[in-house]
Structure 1
Amino acid sequence: MIGKTVLRALGHRKEAVKRCASFASRASSTAPQMSIPSSEESSKPLPFFRTRSSPTEQSSSNGGQYYTVDPAVKKQLYLYGGIPKEYDGLCKTFKETCIMVREPALEIMHYLKSSNFDNAAIRYCLYGRLGTGKSLTLAHLLHYGFENNFLLVHVPWTPYWFKHPKEYTDCPTKEGFADLPIDAAAWLMHFKNQNAHLLADQNIITSQDWEFSKREVVKKGAPLSEIIEMGINRVKYSTNCIEALLQEVKQLSDMKRCKTLVVIDGFNGFYDTKTKVRLANFQYLPATKVTITSPFINITKQDWSNGAVIVSVDDNAFRREDHRNTIYPKGLLGVEGFEHLDPFIPVETKIYSNKEFDSCIEYYLDRRWIINPHAASEAGRKELSFLSNNNPYQLMKITTPL
């Protein structure tokens, strides 16, 4: 009896599978098809909105064009963050990751190419209105650093630590401070993944002994990766390992054993007066009282050479009661943060130019993101430009139902 019941169930399942397969075949015949370009197609001339130039090769002539990030590079650089989630979801729909070459990234890359790295690390600060591309500009610069063998110290988005902490505990060594052990260990994995090709270098070693407990010690001359593994395997000491790691990175840069590029998105989040981290006595702490903050504040100082620091300030990182609705670094950083970062080179991200807007629309049409015929017409483009005010994020959101 049971056997007959099972056979009937299997029969119904086969019929359901056949119906699903039939439906899928009909749907695929009507739905717009997208495919990844083959090696033969790679030799064909590209449309005006695309370029094959890598970040190192890009110049002002590539402004407004999209370049494709190799999937292997994306996995190494952005596996744990760096590309905004909504845009990353769009890239998965498009079956490719493309970043537009824009003026702020070109400007900073030009500065990096012209810099004398024997001097103190130069600091750059991206600012601009919401949705104008600060995070994607940092992702672009991160790729440039990767291509030019910079050791990357990258924080994808500081508010994640303070607004959505995975776990927090009272710091055993600093009274009135709190640790984020799981978040710190996750960042160490991110650092390890991004710099795997450089950490194998025999010159990337520790300059002193690091004692985390009587049993957990990293000796002088050990590979830098030992500190990273210590923090990942012994989560209790993950924040201490970040502090040791970043001190060693500064030493290695000064000794010309590596070039370092520090990239931090939402840097003003380190100076937030409100977090969701609290002590055992239920007292909420400012970000400056969370131990993971100090190492990253320290590495953005100008007391080391052979590297550069690129940060962004964003109104979404937090809102200061005394400086609402501002996009400028001084207002978002506050007195303490601005004095720490000064002097720096400010670079503004702006809305799309007419060339960038046309390039974006053509790319969306090419990827079948826009399939409404009216949206592709001249009148439709003017309407989209008016509704979005040429804001990259707003344009992406408005074109979603088209």
Structure 2
Amino acid sequence: MNNHLKLLSSLESNTCFSEQQPDYLSRAFFRTDLSNPAEHNDLHHGLFYRIPNDIANRLFLLGGFDKLQQETLKVFQETAIMIRKPALEVIDYLRRTDFTKPPNSYVLYGPIGSGKTFSLNHILHYGFMEKFILINCTRPTDWINWPQEQAQSTTKVKRIDTPLDAAIWLQTFKAQNMTILDELKLTSLNRYTWSQREHTEPGDPIQSIIEHGINRINHASDCMAVLLKELKLNSAKGNCRLMVVVDKANAFYEPSRLRFPDRTFATVDDITIARAFKKLFRKDWQNGAIVASVCKKLVVPYRLLSISGIPKKENDRDRTYKQWGPFNVKHLSDYPKSLLTDQDRQWLQRPISKTDDGQNEIRFLSGMNPGQVFHICSDL
């Protein structure tokens, strides 16, 4: 505090300001007037910037911040975000990305409350300004564990639909991307049958799939899955660029609490919209990027038992929420490799690694040494 006061005294003695000097100084110390994330750099690290209200209302119409964060933003009547180093780093990577290649994946990690959600929203705003099509998932646990409604899928495959959650996501997607979709005029590349009288033909606007899912709730889950599929196909053809932004992505690798009518537990891949969204993590498309965060707050009791090595002596249902609350996970690692489980440990993710050229490159870099192969591939 003393050093801070000395700095102010030095500025006052060497610089002539108007009578508004204290307000100007206090504003300069913690805020920047640059509201476009594309203009942010290391000089703005630690400062707050304001997202214009018209953009914030579109980006965060139905989510993006938890309840406490929403109350804070409401008190100050503005959406102000601190410019953090991870967000600046990811934005810099996105500027230098070759979008003709399969999408790069960026994972934000850190202790609970370290600002991962705000950094994701900073990057989401950057994608909006740079005219990416935004595919945003803020609460995957709602789809996987606590959907507003669930129903048996009408398809031949044994799956669970969550129509209300799918319709809400479609409304959010429409709000975030209505302008860019009108500019790009993307169309469906395949034919889809929703009922005997309702179809989507090749060449129909992609907006028709969105509107159908919003207006016909029973078809919302299938419409969301089809929309994500069509966006991947269009991006692979170079018709658009996608930015997939997921908060708490490790939820897609946790067990689900949903059950089929026969009372057997469903997996994440048995839930229509979760399965469709999870396919975006693959490397089988171009012109896009994947930005996600992981958080150990989501780790459920049976994961705690298996990771910590504590012997299971009583039923999980007998344990109180206070004892097994989401914040009682200090002994767990914050790193993605611990939170994404073994399902996501696919070292050779790029298709080129399976070709002869890719294999020869690995042999050259490792000198045919198995230890070096492990060292090279472990970070992929």
Using the size of structure 1 for normalisation, the TM-score is 0.71
Q: In 1, Cα distance between the equivalents of 2:189 and 2:269? A: 28
Residue aligning to 2:161: 179
Between 1:156-165 and 1:95-104, the stretch displaced more is: 156-165
- Percent identity between matched residues is 34
| Aligned twin of 2:86 | 104
Where do 1:226-237 residues align within 5 Å?
A: 226-237=208-219
Q: How far apart are residue 85 of structure 1 and its match? A: 2.3
Question: Residues 304-343 of structure 1: matches in 2 within 5 Å?
Answer: 304-319=285-300, 320-321=303-304, 322-323=306-307, 325-339=332-346
- Cα deviation for residue 268 of structure 1 reads 1.1
Offset, 1:163:
2.9
Which residue of 2 is the match for residue 395 of structure 1? none
1:257 aligns with: 239
Q: Match for residue 373 of structure 1?
A: none
SS of the aligned residue for 1:154 comes to strand
Deviation of the 1:340 alpha carbon: 8.6
Given that 2:184 and 2:240 are in contact with CA atoms closer than 8 Å, whether structure 1 keeps it comes out as no
Shift of 1:214: 2.0
Instruction: Report if the CA contact (8 A) 2:225-2:272 is conserved.
Output: no
1:246-305 alpha-carbon deviations (Å, 9 max, x no partner) = 111111112222111000111111121132x22223333232221111111111211111
How big is the shift at 1:125?
1.1
Residues 271 and 286, structure 1, Cα contact 8 Å, conserved in 2: no
Give me the whole-angstrom Cα distance separating, in 2, the residues matched to 1:121 and 1:112.
10
User: Is 2:73 the counterpart of 1:91?
Assistant: yes
* Alignment partner, residue 281 of structure 2: 300
Alignment of structure 1 residues 2-401 onto 2, 5 Å? 46-53=27-34, 54-201=36-183, 203-275=185-257, 277-319=258-300, 320-321=303-304, 322-323=306-307, 325-339=332-346
Deviations 1:78-116 (A, max 9, x none): 011112321121010111111000000000000000111
Residue 280 of structure 2 aligns with an amino acid whose one-letter code is I
User: Equivalent residue for 2:326?
Assistant: none
Contact 1:323/1:332 (<8 A) preserved: no
The alignment yields a C-alpha RMSD, in angstroms, of 2.1
Give deviations 1:12-34, integer Å, cap 9, x for gaps. Answer: xxxxxxxxxxxxxxxxxxxxxxx
C-alpha distance 113-250 of structure 1, shift in aligned 2 (>3 A): same
Question: Which structure 1 residue ranges, 5 or more long, are not aligned?
Answer: 1-42, 344-402
Any unmatched runs of 5+ in structure 2? Answer: 1-22, 309-331, 351-380
CA apart distance, 1:73: 0.7
- Report the secondary structure of 1:310's partner residue: strand
Write the distance in 1 (CA, Å) between the matches of 2:96 and 2:279: 25
Counterpart contact for 1:176–1:289, Cα < 8 Å = yes
Q: SS of the counterpart of 1:273?
A: coil
Report how many residues are paired.
Answer: 302
Distance verdict in 2 for CA 1:185–1:99, change over 3 Å: same
| Contact 1:202–1:223 (8 Å) recurs in 2 | no
In the alignment, residue 294 of structure 1 is paired with which amino acid? Answer: R
Q: Is the 8 A contact 2:234 2:240 kept in 1?
A: yes
Which amino acid is the alignment partner of residue 337 of structure 1?
D
Amino acid aligned to 2:275: S
Counterparts of 2:349 and 2:335, CA distance in 1: 13
Report the Cα distance in structure 2 between the residues aligned to 1:44 and 1:101, rounded to whole angstroms. Answer: 20
Q: Is the 8 A contact 2:253 2:268 kept in 1?
A: yes
* Residue identity in the other structure for 1:105: A
Change (3 A) 1:140 1:202: closer
Structure 2 CA distance for aligned equivalents of residues 174 and 205 of structure 1: 27
User: CA separation in 1, counterparts of 2:263 and 2:136?
Assistant: 31
